[in-house]
Amino acid sequence: MLTRSRLYDQGVFPSKAAARRYLLSARTAHPYAEDLLATAQTQPRVLAARRIALFVSKGLEPKTGSLIDWLLARGCEVLLPILYADNDLGWGVAPGAADLVPGRLGLSEPPVDLGPDAIATADLVICPAVAVSRDGVRLGRGGGSYDRALARVKPGTPIWAAVYDDEVVDALPADDHDHPVDAALTPNQLIVLRKSLDE
């Protein structure tokens, strides 16, 4: 008989809460947060985008700081989230890391809010995740912020989840409101999930 931890190691999770607990605990095995910049720099969709919705990484999440700086230096506009009291997300244009302001729950945010619908103007969306499954299910931290935000993304705009390679799993529990993602951006590669990205 398989033990609970053995089931989890095989990607069998009885609930989203159980998956979240296990995968966040496993993330602490990473000795430090790794950077997404090198992988992103090789992606045609990143190079072609005029506006990218991103996020300011925190803790052991794959690092986005140098990617944001590189995009800004190239003249690409970067949208960053602003967390509202109801856990919905607004978006503002990144002014540069030194000009971000403190937000809710210790987040760093742009000073000007363009509103929740600004994400629909992005050519590419890169969002945080605890893990993703190979069929595109994204597991977040449980607040529902990104499920609401991703529902506003313009149809056809690619959505990538920023995770580590070992956080791309065979299956995850999902609810009807969960918004799928197209690929996983890791510090080492871009992993296509639910469809061809037509690069």
**Higher-confidence position of 155 and 8:** 155
Averaging pLDDT over each range in 20-34, 53-67, 94-108, which range is the top one?
A: 53-67
Among 150, 134, 144, CA closest to 191: 134
Domains defined for the chain, CATH in brackets: 4-192 (3.40.50.10420)
**pLDDT confidence band for 196 (50 / 70 / 90):** very low
List the beta strands (DSSP E) in 45-150. Answer: 51-53, 77-83, 89-93, 101-102, 108-109, 124-128, 131-133, 138-139
Residue 32 assigned ligand-binding role: no
Q: Given this model, what pLDDT does residue 71 score?
A: 96
Mean pLDDT of 76-102: 87
Residue 27 assigned ligand-binding role: no
Residue 164 assigned ligand-binding role: no
Residue 56 assigned ligand-binding role: yes
Strands 77-83 and 124-128: what pairing? unpaired
Mean pLDDT of 64-93: 95
Q: Which residue has the tokens 């619908």?
A: 117
Q: How many CB atoms lie within 10 A of CB 50?
A: 11
Residue 168 has pLDDT above 90, yes or no: yes
Encode pLDDT of 109-134 as tens digits.
898 999 999 999 999 999 999 999 99
Residue 195 has pLDDT above 60, yes or no: no
Residue 141 assigned ligand-binding role: yes
Residue 143 assigned ligand-binding role: yes
Residue 61 assigned ligand-binding role: yes
Residue 92 assigned ligand-binding role: no
Mean pLDDT of 142-165: 92
The DSSP call for residue 129 is -
**pLDDT confidence band for 6 (50 / 70 / 90):** very low
Mean pLDDT of 172-183: 85
Among 62, 54, 61, 59, CA closest to 100: 54
Reading the block at residue 38, the tokens are: 């090198």
Q: How many CB atoms lie within 10 A of CB 85?
A: 6
Residue 1 has pLDDT above 70, yes or no: no
pTM score of the predicted model: 0.86
Encode pLDDT of 41-77 as tens digits.
999 999 999 999 999 998 899 999 999 999 999 999 9
Residue 8 assigned ligand-binding role: no
- What distance in Å separates the CA atoms of residue 188 and residue 74, rounded to the nearest whole number? 22
